[in-house]
């Protein structure tokens, strides 16, 4: 019973923190380096930044190497979406070329990380 | 030879999509590049090129895609609800299921569909015995037959029609 | 019209991305985290790319976004499978209150 209570409290704190961050990010369109015409997309951009932050927390805290590998893989997929969002307001289509190349390299990187993880276990 | 031609056609479609407003220069360069790639790596792409000529396989593929997308959407909502709930209602474990599919492509597609459907993630495949090891976020039954029925059977029939 | 559909797709994609990342933080072990991120983040990013396709229309950029989404759907599960297998081989244990681990049992059985 006690455990459940603390569970609720931490859940509530986490949800409040995340909602607060998202509110700040979406309430004020923060000044950005690119002078964008579209405030909506600049907010999308900062929401993706929050996702990156969550991935980085896992990357720093992850107890095992496998956790870090998963976080890196997730970051790779997120960056593809990031490039796609960047390509809309700036009107530069080559961001999508970067997205395709990044998807390829993140896939190959994930496979290489998996191979590395497999190699660690052979200790007989 | 046949599988090189198949790879050439598939690669040329991808090339056209990549360089979309198609002009003459891109079309010619595409023939050269895709031809070179098909000549060098054609044997790796498919072993049974005659399968690409069967029309029924494409029809079954057309049936399979909506099923897959629907399951995918369900999977996302399922995982999102589990993640957001304060109790964290998970009950994970690795179960073993059997499959009757044999060919490489069919097994790959089966593993991919299993990974993107509700609560399941393929961990390893044993092709010789036709066994898949699956991490299930909410284990409802750890017996082989029951798990097979719950996880694999939805996809086995269309995939068998498509790839076997 | 297509702009509105595209923006709706992008918002749905962002929401699923955030859910996936929350899952990455909250869930207890590697395999569960992999489940959350593979499903939610892959479909979220594909949704963003489809939104880009809707906004850009069927131009060079749109077709590239479409190809990229197909590529992601095909490769993300394979990468997840490889990572899960690597994690299991490198000896990462399942979460404490997991139900069963048939893979571990079979591997031990084979070694004997």
Tell me how close the Cα of C40 comes to any Cα of chain B, in angstroms: 5
Check whether residue A24 and residue A39 sit in a common domain. Answer: no
Residues of chain A with pLDDT > 90, as a percent, come to 12
Neighbours of chain A (3+ CB pairs under 8 A): B, C
Of A51, A69, A96, the CB nearest to C18: A51
Q: Which pLDDT band, with edges at 50, 70 and 90, does C106 fall under?
A: confident
| For chain B, percent of residues with pLDDT exceeding 70 | 99
Are A6 and A38 in the same domain? no
Judge if A15 and A47 occupy the same domain. no
Q: How many domains does chain A have?
A: 2
Backbone angles phi, psi at B90, to 5 degrees: -120, 155
Q: What is the pLDDT of residues C78-103, one digit of tens each?
A: 898 888 888 888 877 777 766 677 77
The CA distances from residue B147 to A31, B51, B72, B153, in Å, are 53, 31, 19, 10
Pairing of strands B120-126, B131-136: antiparallel
Range of the domain at C69: 2-111
Same domain? For A80 and A49 the reply is yes
Q: What is the pLDDT of residues B129-143, one digit of tens each?
A: 778 888 888 777 777
CB within 8 Å of C26: residues ≥ 6 apart: A14, B83, B88
Q: H or E segment at C36?
A: helix C30-36
Q: What are A54-67's pLDDT values in tens digits?
A: 899 989 987 888 88
User: In terms of domains, do A74 and A105 share one?
Assistant: yes
Lowest mean pLDDT among A18-27, A28-37, C59-68: A28-37
Question: Is B87's pLDDT higher than 80?
Answer: no
pLDDT (0 to 100) of residue B69: 87
Query: CB distance A118–C14 less than 8 Å?
Result: no
| Nearest chain A residue to C30, by CA | A67
pLDDT, average across residues A22-50: 73
For residues C36 and C22, give the distance between their C-alpha atoms in angstroms, rounded to a whole number. 9
pTM value is 0.87
Question: What residues in C contact B121, CB-CB < 8 Å?
Answer: 31, 34-35, 38, 80-81, 84
Lowest mean pLDDT among A39-53, B19-33, B134-148: B134-148
**B116 secondary structure, DSSP code:** T
Closest by CA to B78, choosing from B67, B68, B89, B69, is B89
| B142 neighbourhood in chain C, CB within 8 Å | 99-100, 102
Instruction: Concatenate the DSSP letters of all residues of chain C into one string.
Output: -HHHHHHHHHHHHHHHHHHHHHHHHHSSSHHHHHHHIIIIIHHHHHHHHHHHHHHH-SSHHHHHHHHHHHHHHHHHHHHHHHHHHHHHHTTPPPPTT---BHHHHHHHHHH-
Q: Are residues A81 and A48 in the same domain?
A: yes
Structure tokens at C85: 């297998």
Note the pLDDT of residue B159: 80
Do A96 and C52 make contact, defined as CB atoms within 8 angstroms?
yes
Question: pLDDT grade, residue B162 (50/70/90)?
Answer: confident
Parent domain of A101: 32-120
Q: Please give, rounded to a whole number of angstroms, the shortest distance from the CA of B69 to a CA of chain C.
A: 10
Which of chain A's residues have a Cβ under 8 Å away from the Cβ of C87? Answer: 64, 66, 69, 117
pLDDT higher at C24 or A36: C24
pLDDT of residue A122: 45
Ramachandran angles phi, psi of B120, nearest 5°: -125, 150
**What average pLDDT score do residues A56-80 get?**
88
- On chain B, the residues whose CB falls within 8 A of the CB of C95 are 92
Quick one: tokens of A5?
A: 């209570």
Answer with the residue of higher pLDDT: A43 or C111.
A43
As to burial, measured by CB atoms within 10 angstroms (0-12 exposed, 13-18 middle, 19+ buried), residue A69 is buried
- Taking contacts as CB-CB distances below 8 angstroms, the residues of chain C near B83 are 19, 22-23, 26-27, 36, 40
Same-domain status, A17 and A70: no
Number of domains in chain C: 1
Q: How far apart, in whole angstroms, are the C-alpha atoms of residue C53 and residue B68?
A: 21
Say yes or no for a CB contact (<8 Å) between C24 and A120.
Answer: no
Predicted-complex ipTM score = 0.87
């Amino acid at each position: 019973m006690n455990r459940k209570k603390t569970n609720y409290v931490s859940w509530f704190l986490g949800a409040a923190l995340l909602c607060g961050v998202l509110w700040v990010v979406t309430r004020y369109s923060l000044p950005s380096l690119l002078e964008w015409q579209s405030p909506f997309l600049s907010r999308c951009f900062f929401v993706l930044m929050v996702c990156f932050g969550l991935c980085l927390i896992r990357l720093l805290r992850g107890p095992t190497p496998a956790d870090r590998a998963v976080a890196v893989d997730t970051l790779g997929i997120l960056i593809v979406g990031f490039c796609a969002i960047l390509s809309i307001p700036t009107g530069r289509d080559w961001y999508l070329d970067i997205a395709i190349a990044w998807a390829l390299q993140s896939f190959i990187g994930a496979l290489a990380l998996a191979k590395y993880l497999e190699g660690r276990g052979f200790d007989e | 030879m046949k599988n090189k031609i198949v790879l050439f056609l598939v690669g040329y479609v991808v090339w056209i999509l990549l360089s979309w407003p198609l002009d003459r220069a891109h079309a010619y360069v595409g023939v050269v590049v895709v031809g070179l790639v098909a000549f060098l790596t054609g044997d790796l792409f498919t072993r049974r090129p005659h399968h690409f000529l069967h029309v029924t396989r494409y029809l079954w593929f057309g049936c399979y895609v909506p099923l897959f997308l629907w399951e995918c959407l369900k999977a996302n909502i399922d995982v999102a609800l589990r993640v957001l709930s304060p109790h964290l209602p998970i009950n994970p474990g690795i179960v073993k299921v059997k499959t009757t599919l044999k060919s490489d492509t069919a097994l790959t597609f089966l593993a991919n569909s299993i990974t993107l459907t509700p609560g399941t993630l393929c961990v390893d495949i044993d092709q010789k015995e036709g066994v898949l090891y699956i991490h299930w976020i909410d284990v409802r039954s750890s017996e082989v037959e029951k798990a097979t029925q719950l996880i694999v059977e939805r996809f086995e029939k269309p995939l068998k029609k498509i790839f076997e | 019209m297509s702009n509105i559909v595209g923006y709706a797709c992008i918002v749905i994609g962002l929401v699923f991305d955030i859910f996936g990342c929350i899952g990455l933080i909250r869930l207890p072990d590697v395999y569960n985290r992999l489940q959350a991120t593979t499903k939610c983040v892959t479909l979220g990013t594909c949704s963003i790319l489809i939104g880009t396709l809707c906004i850009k229309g069927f131009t060079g950029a749109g077709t590239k976004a479409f190809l990229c989404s197909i590529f992601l759907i095909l490769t993300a599960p394979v990468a997840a499978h490889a990572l899960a297998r690597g994690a299991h081989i490198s000896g990462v244990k399942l979460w404490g209150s997991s139900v069963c681990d048939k893979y571990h049992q079979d591997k031990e059985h084979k070694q004997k």
